[in-house]
Structure 1
């Protein structure tokens, strides 16, 4: 078999033997790169970034606290917490949605955070 066939065979074997979560992370990373976004694992505090990924979780603040909406964006390489201050709900921001977010990376409690990011809801494929 030639090199072209060997590559296809290798990819097939990898797909059949790799953990589903790892395959999903690879797909997310590929989609993120196709959108022109940076990899979350390569971002540092103070960087102006555009990220693209899937929302893993969305948390609303308690009624008696300052209104905040937090969502974890995962791009296949790392998670970044998106925080909207003064908001309890944003239509379309829900677990499983694919989002492109832009802002400046901060670090809070050792986690990467984007405060009040500009965002775009992307169509799921």
Structure 2
């Protein structure tokens, strides 16, 4: 058995024995990296970033009328980033399970990475 055969066998064995969430995270991370996006785990506060991942959750957070915001968690397979659109109650197409590409400047709030009012593109399902 050659080295390429054993590598293919190891990958197949890993897919058969790994947790579905781990495999999904690996696929998300690989897709994100191939698209040229940065890994969320590598991004630092103040950095201008482009990331791609899947929305895990979307919720409207009405603190009061002037501070209403739509929040979503984007997961790229390495780490989650909170997306916050100030003054928005809903954005068509922004829903859990959607794959998105976002761009903005990373902030950190309560130890969580955040992108405020990011530029976004909804990607076609892979």
Does TM, scored on the shorter chain, surpass 0.5?
A: yes
Q: Return the offset for 1:61.
A: 1.9
**In the aligned structure 1, how far is the partner of 2:64 from the partner of 2:43?**
33
For structure 2, the residue ranges without an aligned partner over 5 or more in a row are none
2:58 matched residue in structure 1: 58
How many angstroms apart in 1 are the aligned matches of 2:11 and 2:57? 31
Residue matched to 1:87 = 88
After superposition, the CA RMSD in angstroms is 1.0
2:12 alignment counterpart: 12
Tell me what 1:112 maps to: 113
Cα deviation, residue 62, structure 1? 2.8
Per the normalisation by structure 2, the TM-score is 0.96
Quote the residue 2:41 is aligned against: 41
1:121 is aligned to 122
Q: CA deviation at 1:63?
A: 7.7
Counterpart CA distance in 1 for 2:77 and 2:63 is 33
Kindly report structure 1 stretches of 4+ aligned residues shifted beyond 4 Å. none
| Length-normalised TM-score, structure 1 | 0.97
Q: Deviations over 1:30-87 (max 9, x none)?
A: 0101111000000110000000000000010238442200000000000000000011
